[in-house]
Structure formats: structure tokens, C-alpha cells
Amino acid sequence: MNNITEVKSARTGDKYYKIEHSSGLTIYLYPKPDYNSKYAIFGTRYGSVNNAFSLDGGEVRRVPDGIAHYLEHKMFECEDGDAFVKYAKTGANANAYTSFDKTCYLFSCTDNFDESFKILLDFVQRPYFTEQTVAKEQGIIGQEIRMYDDSAEWRVMFNMLENMYHTHPVQLDIAGTVESIAKITPELLYDCYYTFYNLNNMVLAVAGDLSVDDILKTADEMLKPCEKHSIESFFEDEPYEIVSDYVEQKFPVSVPLFNLGFKEKAHKVSQKELAEIEIIISILSSPSSELYKMLDDAQLINQSFDCEYFNGPGYNAFLFSGESRAPKQAAEMIKKYINSIKENGIAPEDFEIARREVYGDAVSGLNSVDNIANTMADFHFNNLDIFGIIDDIAATTAEDVSRRLSGILDTDNSTLSVVTSEE
């Protein structure tokens, strides 16, 4: 029996449906009447950091680094043909990605949604691995790993993570290493698949001019019921302190790149906390912010400057990034500004500009079917609500933000990663 809940937003007038499907899968449908584009994303709570886990309280299994990403690559190869070839016939634009904490398969289309939807539900539930195809993929992913090793943007980020985290696997490349993927076998892929690709550990989010009946007709036909299991991932104890405060690598770049990371105590983020953090990020990095103007006036940043909140199982951090002719000077200005607003407070007008900007971005994001579905899938894994976050942003006060700011962004627990020219 499917359990269907309609969720309405009094603030925006929109609604979505949450469907607890009889198969064990949670499905979200966000109807967008009269929209041409349709989007679907099918994801599992399984990413690169989940390399030590147990099933139903059994023994802890440790698998090679990069196996979640490897599995994502192999899922498109079906016994009856490649899924990308099938999508090409429907005209859908399909893709997939593996992050630190999840793996997702997605497509967008304007026509032939039903056919593309069936392809998605079919190949993600039907793994097919052989010794020959797994061995072939090792060479392909090995090339991908070497390509990322040659990417300045990739190296500046992972150099930072390696200097922030002592033991947590978030410091490891999502794709693993050439040595680690050489240990992957069809048996290991099947073991990980049947552990993490259980529908009870997954989510499906769809947005577009679609009805519940449209989705359930295919879901009831295609989804294979799964017995619910308990999955637990294990991580070694991670100190609060960073490893070191500076790392530099020479690279053929025209302008130096930097990542400045502020390590936080690992914890699960509440919806209210996330709303406050988004406003703080706007105060610190929006082009309309005082800090951005200071950095720009000093010619220490360009339009690439950004800040994000980076969190998942066992890791939380604030990451500033961008190009800068003087990364150390930019980092010092950022830290000095953070300490200044902690001590002196945030100007009321700066808070209000940031709150309105974050609120406007959240509401305008509801006009994009891909943003809606991606956000709903991500929020499902973090027990957040796409309408609830908008309400929390609207209700956040300057006092809430000041209180939150006082306990985060420890400038004595930050690391600066720089990639600079060999000249």
C-alpha cells in the first residue's frame, strides 16, 4: 500500500507530494503545471566516505577507496545494452554523479518522459558486472583519476581537505587511487550494491508537469520491493584540530587558486541552523557584502570568489575559494573580518540584505525543475524540507545569526591551500 502525503506551502502557494511507496522507496513529486521540462533524480545514501560499514549489526566490512564511484560508472552497462544508448532514443539528457555522501542518477527531458523514467528505474535496479567489464573500467577510471590529478581546482581542494582531516575519508579522492580501484572485483561491486542500493536507503525526486498517477503507474510497475536493513558506516575518531594551517602546490596556472577551510566540530545540521548558516555565508561572500567589496577593492579576488558550507557524515566545514594574486593576504583579510563581526556584531542593514537575498534565492529556485528535484533528494537524506527551510530563513533574526556566528568559523582552526604558478 502506498502512503501519499500532500505538503503545501502557505508562503509560496506551491505543493509537493511525498509518497512512501510499498517497495520501500520514498518518492517526491513536485508538480509544475505548464512547464515543458521534466526532471527526475534517483539517489542512494552511498558516497565515497562509506568505505567501512556493517549490515544489520554484522561485522564491519572495509572496501577499496573509490568503489562507490566505480559502481556508478558500471551501473549504466546493462546486460541488454548501455543505458545512455537507450536514453539517446528517447531524447533525454542523462547523467550521474558520486559525491562524498551520495550517488545519484538523473535525466531531464521535454518529451517521452515515461520511456525515460522506465529506463532510469530499470537500470538502477538491475546491476550487471563481469570480470571482463570490471577490468575494462579500471583503465577508464584510472585515466579519470590522472585527469583530476592534473586539475588545479581539484588539487587545491583535496590538498585543503588533507590538511584539515587526520583520519576521515573525506580527505580521499572520490574516485580512489589507481592502486585502490585495482582491488575492485565483480563480487565486491555486487556486495556494495545490495547493501546500499536497497530502496529503503534511496530516494526518487521528480519535478515537472506530472501527476501522482503518472508517477505511480510506472513506479508500481517497475519498483522491486526490498526488505529493510540497518546500514551503519564507521569512521575513526577525528580530532577537532586541523592537521596544518598551510599547504602549497606548484601548477601551471595563470592566477593562483586558493581554498580556505574552517574546520567545525562534526555534527548533524538542523534546518534552523542551515537557514542561519546560509545567511552568514551571504554576509561573508555575496557580491553585495562588505567583505566582498573590501577584497575586490584590494584586488585580492575576482568573480570566482565563493563560500559554501560543506557537511556530511562525520565532517563539517566552511570553505572559501577563488582566484587571487595574493592568497595569503586574502585569507588574512577574510579571517580578520570574521573576527571583527564576531566582536562588533553584524550591521542590521547587512543582515537584512543577506536574509532577503537568501530568501529570494530559495523562492526563485522553485522555478527550476532540476533545482527542485536535486534539493528534495538532498534534503531527504538530511531530514530537511524544501518549504520548511524557506519559512526558517524568513523567521531568522539578527540575534539568531549573531548567536550562531559566535560558535563557528574558528580562525585558529583553519587551513589555507594554494595552487600557484611554477614561475
The grid coordinates of residue 199 equal: 530502496
For residue 185, CA distances in Å to 148, 174, 192, 307, 308 come to: 23, 18, 11, 39, 36
For residue 19, CA distances in Å to 62, 198, 254, 296, 385 come to: 34, 17, 50, 47, 14
Q: What DSSP character marks residue 266?
A: -
Using alpha carbons, select from 423, 259, 263 the residue that is nearest to residue 327: 259
Please pick, among 59, 72, 131, 179, the residue that the annotation labels catalytic: 72
Whether 6 is catalytic is no
Cβ neighbors of 44 (< 8 A, separation 6 or more) are 102, 103, 104, 196, 197, 201, 202, 203
- Give the whole-angstrom CA distance, residue 220 versus residue 215: 9
Q: What DSSP character marks residue 260?
A: E
As to burial, measured by CB atoms within 10 angstroms (0-12 exposed, 13-18 middle, 19+ buried), residue 104 is buried
- Give the whole-angstrom CA distance, residue 415 versus residue 264: 12
Q: Is the dihedral of CA 372, 196, 267, 170 positive or negative?
A: negative
Catalytic machinery residues: 72
